[in-house]
A and B are shown apart, each in its own frame.
Chain A
């Protein structure tokens, strides 16, 4: 279908993607190690933003709990790294908290593939369970959002409270190696950057495939009129659960990459403020457009690191004001603004797209 309607517009877009991908892969040659590490972190955030966009921009469900899914992924990777750093001995914080043996659920995390699998599966499963108990009963909208926020609070209290298993407020840190390579060395960092870039592109392609598919159309139908979708014969709960689980899984992947770049994961990373900041990335870039969400995450985090280094207090004012401005004046985000400027052109293409869709 896409080949059949290959308009100049689409060729430009494809060229744009190709340039962006090339730029991503060439960044290590231009940037300093410090900047590269920052960019790698932002790319990991962009993966969360993609997942969040899938659930919010396309399905219309606002989750303020993605910090938890992000954090669970990060903790899964952190557990593996901690065990590798401890080299067969008990991790230091367990020693301090008076544990004498490794808890049973920590043991399998000595294996790298297991840690990766859990980093995706645990968030996805948690999302699936929460979705099962809410979407099925048509608990949605703000009710669902409040429940996700409560999920954040209880997870953070749980992680802080169970210090002997999770490292408490300090979280997990003091990592040395990953798969035998020193985690701090520039070579490993560069490698990790490339891994992140590849995962980001893969996540983008996956999300794009999902939204362009029939599944994605049902998601949008649910967003725009859940009851209508139900009357047509779809079960919105199933679609919402799957979308929510995929979104949580992506957040888990991002969390794993994040911990590799930053070298620490603590409950404060998955608290309420980071969780809601994730939503802002999507809002500012443009909900309902994947590229907008990813760009929003990178740009806003870049602004944050540039801005908050010099004025940490003013940053919170700025962040708060951004929320208000984006919601009131830019409901479609930066991409929406961009499209508004080229409205005549876009309208034609959208019409063509509709024609294209109807012929499929």
Chain B
């Protein structure tokens, strides 16, 4: 019983991280049909932004304030990743609309360069980010079941991000424009929506969310230049499984992969667990080839 709860919780925690990563991907892929392989590197950038914030607090502020660096690092990593994502869109991605496979290759090249850049600046070894003391310890649910505050905090962070995204997409003017472009780009353009601006804004927001994911990952362990590559393929599997167009698909996909993955890895071992998850995804796609929630469309490419 205890073990089941712990595994379930670990799966939920894994799923929430995947969700945070896949959220940005789902939006950029759904809106612009661009596959951003550099998304993992934006996570890495967010993580290093947190690392730098921590070091700045350490060096220039009194020790009593150190615990609060993390509160600041969340918006900082969002902004840094947001800016870099915006730059990326303006300088490269906009030349690649309508060519999803090419966008995949080009952004992969960017990912390679960003990784190497991080290696040059911060060095190849992993660096540790000291988590604030108020996240140490855990919540004791029952005997033998302690839920670490760090993981609970990540889940909370994901929920907050999710609500913010929901409000942005479904309750704001900018979000309405975004959905309009997503549903019918030409029609939206005819009605006076600047699709260019919506595109770069959306891409930047997706990147910013990746930055938050990077910030959250610093709680899970040391960070390194290839941090993003561990998660990026799983995150893309979430998008494939969940389908594009609605947030709910991404949520179910992420939690599903997180929970089943952790369960399989517990029952078998880490390597076999991954194989089983992959087989499950392929099997699921036999049933719903377009993912869980697909945008309804009458167009035939």
Size of interface on B: residues with Cβ below 8 Å to A: 43
Q: How far is the CB of B258 from chain A (nearest CB, A)?
A: 15
Interface hub of B103, B289, B300 (most chain A Cβ within 10 A) = B289
Nearest-neighbor residue (CB-CB) of B277 within chain A:
A154
Interface 9-residue window, one of B50-58, B109-117, B216-224? B109-117
A280 to B119, CA, bound (A): 23
Nearest-neighbor residue (CB-CB) of A327 within chain B:
B106
Residues of chain B within 8 A (CB-CB) of A324 are 92, 106, 109-110
Q: Check A316 for interface membership: any CB of B closer than 8 A.
A: yes
Residues of chain B within 8 A (CB-CB) of A146 are 35, 233, 236-237, 239-240
A328 to B301, CA, bound (A): 23
The residue that A323 contacts in the complex, of B106, B229, B275, with Cβ under 8 A, is: B106
Residues of chain B within 8 A (CB-CB) of A320 are 109-113, 116
Residue contact B289 to A139, C-beta cutoff 8 Å: yes
Nearest-neighbor residue (CB-CB) of A276 within chain B:
B108
Residues of chain A within 8 A (CB-CB) of B113 are 316-317, 320-321
CB contacts between A and B, total, < 8 Å: 116
Residue contact A161 to B105, C-beta cutoff 8 Å: no
Residue contact A283 to B105, C-beta cutoff 8 Å: yes
Residue contact B110 to A154, C-beta cutoff 8 Å: no
Residue contact B100 to A316, C-beta cutoff 8 Å: no
Interface 9-residue window, one of B139-147, B184-192, B264-272? B264-272
Residues of chain A within 8 A (CB-CB) of B117 are 317
The residue that A62 contacts in the complex, of B29, B104, B237, B271, with Cβ under 8 A, is: B104
Give the interface SS of chain B, mostly helix, strand, loop or mixed.
helix
Q: How far is the CB of A312 from chain B (nearest CB, A)?
A: 10
Q: Check A291 for interface membership: any CB of B closer than 8 A.
A: no
Residue contact A154 to B285, C-beta cutoff 8 Å: no
Q: Check B149 for interface membership: any CB of A closer than 8 A.
A: no
Given A150-B278, A158-B275, A272-B229: A331 and B106 interface contact (C-beta under 8 Å): no
Residues of chain B within 8 A (CB-CB) of A227 are 300-301
Residue contact A158 to B271, C-beta cutoff 8 Å: yes
Q: Check A39 for interface membership: any CB of B closer than 8 A.
A: no
Q: Check A354 for interface membership: any CB of B closer than 8 A.
A: no
Q: Check A279 for interface membership: any CB of B closer than 8 A.
A: yes
Residues of chain A within 8 A (CB-CB) of B272 are 158, 161
Residue contact A141 to B100, C-beta cutoff 8 Å: yes
Q: How far is the CB of A271 from chain B (nearest CB, A)?
A: 10
Residues of chain A within 8 A (CB-CB) of B282 are 130, 133-134, 147
Q: Check B2 for interface membership: any CB of A closer than 8 A.
A: no
Instruction: Report the contact-size class of chain A (Cβ under 8 Å from the partner).
Output: 35 or more
B218-257 with Cβ < 8 A to chain A = 229, 233, 236-237, 239-240
Given A320-B113, A322-B109, A323-B106: A141 and B101 interface contact (C-beta under 8 Å): yes
Q: Check B60 for interface membership: any CB of A closer than 8 A.
A: no
Residue contact A317 to B275, C-beta cutoff 8 Å: no
A226 to B301, CA, bound (A): 9
Residue contact A153 to B116, C-beta cutoff 8 Å: no
Residues of chain B within 8 A (CB-CB) of A154 are 271, 274-275, 278
Q: How far is the CB of A326 from chain B (nearest CB, A)?
A: 8
A301 to B298, CA, bound (A): 45
Residues of chain B within 8 A (CB-CB) of A62 are 101, 104
Q: How far is the CB of A233 from chain B (nearest CB, A)?
A: 17
Residues of chain A within 8 A (CB-CB) of B105 are 276, 279-280, 283, 323, 326-327
Residue contact B109 to A327, C-beta cutoff 8 Å: yes
The residue that B285 contacts in the complex, of A139, A149, A326, with Cβ under 8 A, is: A139
The residue that B233 contacts in the complex, of A149, A323, A328, with Cβ under 8 A, is: A149
A141 to B105, CA, bound (A): 13
A137-192 with Cβ < 8 A to chain B = 137-139, 141-143, 145-147, 149-151, 153-154, 157-158, 160-162
Residue contact B116 to A149, C-beta cutoff 8 Å: no
A282-333 with Cβ < 8 A to chain B = 283, 313, 316-317, 319-324, 326-328, 331
A316 to B95, CA, bound (A): 23
B161-215 with Cβ < 8 A to chain A = none
Q: Check B120 for interface membership: any CB of A closer than 8 A.
A: yes
Q: How far is the CB of B37 from chain A (nearest CB, A)?
A: 9
Residues of chain B within 8 A (CB-CB) of A279 are 105
Residue contact B102 to A327, C-beta cutoff 8 Å: yes
Nearest-neighbor residue (CB-CB) of A155 within chain B:
B275
Q: How far is the CB of A162 from chain B (nearest CB, A)?
A: 7
Residues of chain A within 8 A (CB-CB) of B116 are 313, 316-317, 320
Residue contact B271 to A323, C-beta cutoff 8 Å: no
Q: How far is the CB of B78 from chain A (nearest CB, A)?
A: 25
Q: How far is the CB of B271 from chain A (nearest CB, A)?
A: 3
Q: Check B64 for interface membership: any CB of A closer than 8 A.
A: no
Q: How far is the CB of B205 from chain A (nearest CB, A)?
A: 21
Residues of chain B within 8 A (CB-CB) of A316 are 112-113, 115-116
Residues of chain B within 8 A (CB-CB) of A331 are 102
Residues of chain A within 8 A (CB-CB) of B103 are 327
A187-235 with Cβ < 8 A to chain B = 226-227
Residue contact B278 to A323, C-beta cutoff 8 Å: no
Residues of chain B within 8 A (CB-CB) of A130 are 282
Q: How far is the CB of B184 from chain A (nearest CB, A)?
A: 20
Q: How far is the CB of B211 from chain A (nearest CB, A)?
A: 21
A90 to B229, CA, bound (A): 36
Residue contact A137 to B289, C-beta cutoff 8 Å: yes
Residue contact B119 to A328, C-beta cutoff 8 Å: no
Provide a sorted-by-A list of 14 A–B residue pairs whose CB atoms are within 8 angstroms.
A133-B282, A145-B104, A147-B281, A150-B233, A161-B269, A162-B271, A227-B301, A280-B105, A313-B116, A317-B116, A321-B113, A323-B106, A323-B109, A326-B105
List 12 additional contacts besides A158-B271, A226-B301; criterion CB under 8 Å: A133-B285, A141-B100, A142-B35, A151-B278, A157-B271, A157-B274, A161-B270, A283-B105, A320-B110, A324-B109, A327-B109, A328-B95
Q: Which 10 A-B pairs have the closest CB atoms?
A: A323-B109, A161-B271, A320-B112, A320-B113, A137-B289, A327-B106, A320-B109, A316-B116, A157-B271, A324-B109
